């Protein structure tokens, strides 16, 4: 099943990828985190944030443990869709779980805030990331600088 979902993802046919996922459920086949992650990624390829969030919710209904990949994929879709509020919501959900936030999580949240000129939030997340013993990479540093640039906060850059 995940092979078919990945094939549909690669051809940007997210609706077909979700149809395969639904078909596995209707046939009583075992659902897995990796199958859901493939479907989440298919939604991400075409920036379908509503579908990505529905898949996260559906994973809970199927009593599947979400992985950092699940959250990060959904967060990145929300960031790309300029839904900074949803991206931060995903970050908070991860904080409330046993899953550890990573550079991808923070990059999505910082990038989302930067795109809507919320540089203070981007800076706060950058500080939070450093306090969690994560080392910012070039991508995250650029996202913070971009937040300052978009908000015309050159002194902070």
pLDDT tens-place string over residues 78-123 = 998 999 999 999 999 998 888 889 999 999 999 999 999 898 999 9
The Cα 114–Cα 82 span in angstroms is 10
Q: 26 Cβ partners below 8 Å, 6+ apart? A: none
Q: pLDDT value at position 95? A: 86
**What sign for the dihedral angle of Cα 53, 58, 60, 63?**
negative
Task: Give the mean pLDDT of 136-155.
Answer: 84
Q: Report yes or no: 2 and 38 within 8 Å, Cβ to Cβ.
A: yes
Structure tokens at 134: 């994560």
Structure tokens at 44: 């991400």
Categorize the per-residue pLDDT at 156 as very low, low, confident or very high, splitting at 50, 70 and 90: low
The Cα 109–Cα 84 span in angstroms is 7
Output 122-125 pairs: Cβ under 8 A, ≥24 positions apart. Answer: 122/147, 122/148, 123/147, 123/156, 125/91
pLDDT tens-place string over residues 39-76 = 999 888 888 899 999 999 988 888 888 889 999 999 99
SS3 120: helix
Kindly tell me if the per-residue pLDDT of 147 is higher than 90. no
Categorize the per-residue pLDDT at 127 as very low, low, confident or very high, splitting at 50, 70 and 90: very high
State the Cα angle at 155 between 153 and 157, rounded to 5°.
Answer: 75
Kindly tell me if the per-residue pLDDT of 3 is higher than 90. no
Q: pLDDT value at position 102? A: 93
Q: Which residue has the higher pLDDT, 132 or 86?
A: 86
Taking the model in full, what pTM does it have?
0.84
pLDDT tens-place string over residues 18-42 = 899 888 888 888 888 988 999 999 8
Q: 118 Cβ partners below 8 Å, 6+ apart? A: 84, 147, 151
Q: 19 Cβ partners below 8 Å, 6+ apart? A: none
């Amino acid at each position: 099943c995940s092979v078919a979902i990945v094939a549909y993802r690669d051809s940007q046919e997210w609706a077909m990828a979700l149809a395969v996922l639904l078909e596995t459920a209707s046939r009583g086949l075992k659902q897995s985190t990796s199958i859901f992650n493939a479907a989440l990624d298919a939604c991400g390829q075409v920036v379908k944030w509503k579908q990505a969030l529905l898949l996260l919710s559906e994973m809970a209904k199927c009593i599947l443990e979400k992985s950092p990949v699940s959250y990060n994929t959904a967060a990145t879709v929300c960031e790309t869709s300029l839904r900074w509020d949803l991206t931060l919501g995903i970050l908070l959900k991860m904080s409330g779980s046993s899953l550890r936030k990573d550079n991808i999580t923070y990059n999505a949240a910082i990038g989302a805030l930067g795109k809507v000129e919320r540089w203070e939030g981007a800076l706060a997340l950058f500080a939070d990331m450093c306090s969690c013993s994560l080392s910012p990479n070039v991508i995250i540093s650029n996202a913070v600088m971009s937040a300052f640039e978009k908000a015309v906060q050159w002194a902070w850059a």
